[in-house]
Amino acid sequence: MFGLNRKDATLLAIVAALIVFAPFILNPFPAESGWAQFNAGYPDLMQRFVIFGIFAIGFNILFGLTGYLSFGHAAFLGVGSYAAVWMFKLLSMNVIPAIILAVITAGLFALVIGYVSLRRSGIYFSILTLAFAQMSFALAYSVLTPITGGETGLQLALDDPRILDAAAAGGNIPVPSLFGMEMRDSVDLTFGAWVFTFNFGYYFCGLVMLIAFYLSIRIFRSPFGMMLRAVKSNQQRLNYTGLNPRPYTLAAFVISGMYAGLAGGLMASMDPLAGAERMFWTASGEVVLMTILGGVGTLIGPVLGAGMIKYMENIISKINSDILHTWFAFLPDGLEDVVVGLIYPFIGKGWHLTLGIVFMLVVIFLPGGLVQGGQKIAAVFRRRSANAGGAEAEAAKQNPAE
Amino acid sequence: MGILEVKNVNKRFGGLQALGDVNLSVAENSCHAIIGPNGAGKSTLLNCLVGKLIPDTGSVLFKGESVLGRTPFEINQMGISRVFQTPEIFGDLTVIENMMIPCFARRDGVFALHGIRSVASEGELRDQAEQMLEDVNMLDKRNMHSASMSRGDKRRLEMAMCLVQKPQLLLLDEPTAGMARADTNNTIDLLKEIKDKRNITIAIIEHDMHVVFSLAERITVLAQGTPLVEDTPENIKGHPKVKEAYLGEAA
């Protein structure tokens, strides 16, 4: 199907199903219950899941295949965001031209940074990319204020030219749309105590992520993908086999930069403002964490990692001490305070601590990330069912008369 | 004129004269061995041929064209393949993938962006790769992770990767170093077959005299960076200068 083998087609179908049914899957608890705060099925967060999924898929093409660890990928995301917002300001509120410009700008930016940075490998490459990204951040924050909006960020204004659809704007700042369908449009479906929200923007991002995921499968299975793995494995041999590693790594860098630009463009399409903090080095570090947490070099790993980190960032950080107290209200007073005191550092603003612990556990026990965890669980089940099958066969042998 | 002509090559590392006025001519379709004690400059010479090092003076001509200043991948595309002292293969890839990469290099040149087409659809290249694996008796290992193979198998794979490119000149850097006798004999048979059936010129650096005398038609003896003698194996065997170089003045 679509030029994929069976296994990859199944994976694509699973991802498609997850995207389509996410509003249900992420909202398992009734809206009024105490557990509702663990529901992640609201549009804003679901959009972030898929957008960062795209970012991580692209990052994985570079890091997973070639082993070049870029520490400045957020720069491309930021550039994509700025490009998209400028398109909204100047041309039209339609997201298509905005996203196209975001991808192209990020690609060009990646071409320049990659051309310089890829002269070195290993830690020096990481440091070079980090330096470029921090430089971009600093420029966007200060010198380039006319283009980037500086500290306040780049925002839409009523008097923006918007050449194509200025006439349509009334007294309000228009919102991004796809041929008239606004990104913020939502439909609520109430089902007993449950409320499911279907947001147009989310499904648009989901469709884009599905395409991005499909392309990444094709790249992984292509001769180009094989060459990238060869770069990671042994550059010396590649050189002496008549292949130049440089254009291969540069192409991978540009492609993954374009993925980041796509993510940035989508981010601006969901919420039309862009700030320099999107380029900050912590944002670059986050995508590294997502990829490693999910599984470097696997197809679906980065998507899982992105989902996990964004879930923790948004859900765990919302828990506060009052909520903890209601949870542990059944305990005797003194004990309740102790338990709440123990858990408190890990919630709210301390969600980074929880993330750190989860990350450490994954790296130590599952170096292949969440995907490896899934494989281990699957292997246990397979062994168990094989054993069960074996036992039945044994029993059948012993009682042939039956 | 030979397929490979090395003329007056000098190479200095700081105060050490690694190569001094080396002249070498390798005739087409022959097997030329370069021997010499440790530190004689054999590997330095080889590195000058493949673009890893650039000699200070002198010239290196392959089929009448200079290779100096070209990168290793350009020199490889001219028709020179190299086998390393310790096998250099793509350890993270399977055996068949290892074999397909040189097939791609031969067909598409130094760079080609085939990002959408799948590897599985490249039937013709796969056939080439499998044919070569069969020739070196490794077809049954094609789906193995290449890093998990024995050293002898890695060496054979590396040689197969070089051969599938159909090079005109094959450079071997101690291809039997650290091998068991049986593996060494297999390698000798393989190399003999390469020479006889595939019309490939071979230049070999080797310590094992058994290998050298079973294969070589010409032998150059290097000592302290300069060629001592160049002759047929029969004449080299009893040559007093060679004995002296290997065993010291006392002999």
Q: For position A390, what pLDDT does the model report?
A: 57
Taking Cα atoms as reference points, which of B54, B80, B43 lies closest to residue B205?
B43
Does B233 contact A at CB distance below 8 Å? no
Coil, helix or strand for A216? helix
Test B71 with A223 for CB contact under 8 angstroms: no
Best CA proximity match to A134, nearest among A284, A259, A290 = A284
Distance between CA A235 and CA A245 in Å, rounded?
Answer: 7
Under an 8 A CB cutoff, do B106 and A232 touch?
Answer: no
Evaluate whether A256 touches A62 at the Cβ level (below 8 Å): yes
Optimal mutation site among B46, B118, B154, B162, interface A, most CBs of chain A within 10 A: B118
What is the pLDDT at residue B80? Answer: 94
In the CATH hierarchy, which top-level class contains the domain B1-79+167-251? alpha beta
- d(CA A266, CA B41) in angstroms, rounded, equals 60
* Whole-number pLDDT of residue A134: 94
Report the pLDDT value the prediction gives residue A168, as an integer from 0 to 100. Answer: 59
Where do the structural domains in chain B lie, given as residue ranges?
A: 1-79+167-251, 87-163
How far is A109 from chain B, CA to nearest CA, in Å?
20
Backbone angles phi, psi at B202, to 5 degrees: -120, 130
Q: Does A237 touch chain B (CB under 8 A)?
A: yes
Q: What are the structure tokens assigned to B236, written together?
A: 């080299």
Separation in Å, CA of A228 to nearest CA in chain B: 11
> How distant, in Å, are the alpha carbons of A38, A347, A350, B55 from that of A343?
17, 7, 10, 67
Whether A221 contacts chain B with CB within 8 A: yes
Select from A243, A250, A256 the residue whose CB has the most chain B CBs within 10 Å, as the one to mutate to test that interface.
Answer: A243
Rounded to whole angstroms, the Cα distance separating B29 from B23 reads 19
Please report the pLDDT score of residue B90 as a whole number. 95
Q: Does A3 touch chain B (CB under 8 A)?
A: yes
**CB-based contact, B188 to chain A, within 8 Å:** no
Please give the Cα distance from B148 to B151 (Å, whole number): 9
Q: Which of B167, B214, B148, B64 is nearest to A241 (CA)?
A: B167
pLDDT tens across the length of chain A (402 residues): 677 888 999 999 999 999 999 989 888 888 877 778 888 888 899 999 999 999 999 999 999 999 999 999 999 999 999 999 999 999 888 999 999 999 999 999 999 999 999 999 899 999 999 999 999 999 999 999 888 888 888 988 887 888 877 665 567 788 888 887 888 888 888 888 888 889 999 999 999 999 999 999 999 999 999 999 999 999 999 999 999 999 999 999 999 999 999 999 999 999 988 988 999 999 999 999 999 999 999 999 999 999 999 999 988 888 888 888 888 888 888 888 888 888 888 888 888 999 999 999 999 999 899 999 999 999 999 888 877 665 555 554 454 443
B165: contact with A, CB 8 A cutoff: yes
B54 near A CB under 8 A? no
Q: Compute, in degrees rounded to 10, the torsion defined by CA atoms A145, A150, A154, A156.
A: -80
pLDDT at A401: 41
Q: What is the pLDDT of residue A133?
A: 94
Residues A254 and A110 sit within 8 Å (Cβ to Cβ)? yes
Q: How would you write the pLDDT of chain B (251 residues) with one tens digit per residue?
A: 789 999 999 999 988 888 989 999 999 888 999 988 888 888 899 999 998 999 999 999 999 999 998 999 999 999 999 999 889 999 999 999 999 999 999 999 999 888 888 888 889 999 999 999 998 888 999 899 999 998 888 988 999 999 999 999 999 998 887 778 888 888 888 888 888 888 889 999 988 888 888 889 999 988 888 888 888 888 888 788 777 777 665 44
A236 touches chain B (CB under 8 A): yes
Question: Do B147 and A280 meet the contact criterion of CB atoms below 8 Å apart?
Answer: no
- pLDDT for B241: 78
Chain B interface disruption, residue of A211, A240, A249, A259, most B CBs within 10 A:
A240
- Please say whether the dihedral angle defined by the alpha carbons of residues B235, B240, B243 and B244, taken in this order, is positive or negative: negative
Q: How far apart are CA A61 and CA A219, in angstroms?
A: 8
Comparing CB atoms, the residue among A5, A233, A244 nearest residue B92 is A233
| A–B CB contacts, 8 A cutoff, strictly below | 109
Q: What is the pLDDT of residues B219-246, one digit of tens each?
A: 998 888 888 888 888 888 878 877 777 7
Which value does ipTM take for this structure? 0.90
Strands (E), A93-250: 154-155, 177-178, 181-182, 186-191, 194-199
Q: How far apart are the first and last CA of chain A?
A: 45
Phi and psi at residue A367, in whole multiples of 5°? -60, -20
Domains of chain A (ranges, CATH numbers) = 6-278 (1.10.3470)
- Chain A residues whose CB is inside 8 A of the B106 CB are 242
Distance CA B193, CA A264 (A): 58
C-beta separation of A10 from A18 below 8 A: no
Q: What is the DSSP letter of B94?
A: B
Q: Which two tokens stand for residue A247?
A: 């254009």
**Six token digits for residue B4:** 């490979």
